[in-house]
Amino acid sequence: MEEPIGGKEPGNRVLSEDEIDTAFRSVRDTQRDADPAAGAQPYDFRRPDRIPKDQLRAIHLLHENFARSLASSLSAYLRAYVTVNLVSVEQLSFMEFSQCLPSPTILISLGLKPYEGNAVLEINPSLAFPVLEMMLGGKAAGQSPVNREITEIEEKILEGILRIILQDLREAWSAVAPLAFSVEAHETEPQLLQILAPNEAIVAISIEVRVGENAGMLNLGIPSITVKMLRQRFDQQWALRKSESSEADRKRILTLVQAATVMLDTRLNGNTLRVEDLLDLKTGDILAFDYPVSRPLEVELNGKRRFSGEVVDNGRKRAVVLGDLRLPQPGERDDRHPLVSFVADPD
Beta bridge partners of 92: 202
Kindly give, in sequence order, each residue whose CB lies less than 8 Å from that of residue 185, ignoring residues fewer than 6 positions away. 108, 109, 193, 195
Q: Range with the lowest mean pLDDT among 29-43, 56-70, 112-126, 282-296? A: 29-43
CA pair distance 298, 320, nearest whole angstrom: 10
Listed residue (338, 292, 330) closest to 311, CA to CA: 292
Residue 207 has pLDDT above 90, yes or no: yes
CA pair distance 235, 247, nearest whole angstrom: 19
Q: What is the pLDDT of residues 56-72, one digit of tens each?
A: 888 888 899 999 999 99
Residue 154 has pLDDT above 70, yes or no: yes
Residue 290 has pLDDT above 80, yes or no: no
Helical pair 125-135 and 53-78, crossing angle rounded to 10 deg: 20
Q: What local confidence, expressed as pLDDT, does residue 27 receive?
A: 66
pTM comes to: 0.55
Residue 342 has pLDDT above 50, yes or no: no
Listed residue (99, 96, 91, 115) closest to 224, CA to CA: 91
Mean pLDDT of 132-146: 76
Q: What is the pLDDT of residues 167-202, one digit of tens each?
A: 999 998 887 888 889 898 888 888 887 888 888 888
Q: Range with the lowest mean pLDDT among 16-30, 95-109, 297-311, 323-337? A: 323-337
Q: What is the mean pLDDT of the chain?
A: 77
Q: For residues 53 and 74, which has the higher predicted lDDT (pLDDT)?
A: 74
CA pair distance 323, 135, nearest whole angstrom: 62
Q: What local confidence, expressed as pLDDT, does residue 12 receive?
A: 54
Q: What local confidence, expressed as pLDDT, does residue 206 receive?
A: 94
Q: What local confidence, expressed as pLDDT, does residue 236 receive?
A: 60
| Cβ burial 59-92 (10 Å sphere, 16+ → b, else e) | bebbbbbbbebbbebbeebbeeebebebeebebb
CA pair distance 243, 268, nearest whole angstrom: 46
**In the chain, where the domains are located:** 53-252, 264-344
Residue 295 has pLDDT above 70, yes or no: yes
Q: What local confidence, expressed as pLDDT, does residue 8 receive?
A: 47
Q: What local confidence, expressed as pLDDT, does residue 85 receive?
A: 93
Q: Which pLDDT band, with edges at 50, 70 and 90, does 5 fall under?
A: very low
Q: Which pLDDT band, with edges at 50, 70 and 90, does 204 fall under?
A: very high
Give φ, ψ of 123 to 5 degrees. Answer: -110, 115
CA pair distance 150, 130, nearest whole angstrom: 12
Q: What local confidence, expressed as pLDDT, does residue 324 receive?
A: 67
Q: What is the pLDDT of residues 214-236, one digit of tens each?
A: 888 999 999 888 888 877 666 66
Provide the CATH number for the domain formed by 53-252 in this structure: 3.40.1550.10
Q: Which CATH class is domain 264-344?
A: mainly beta
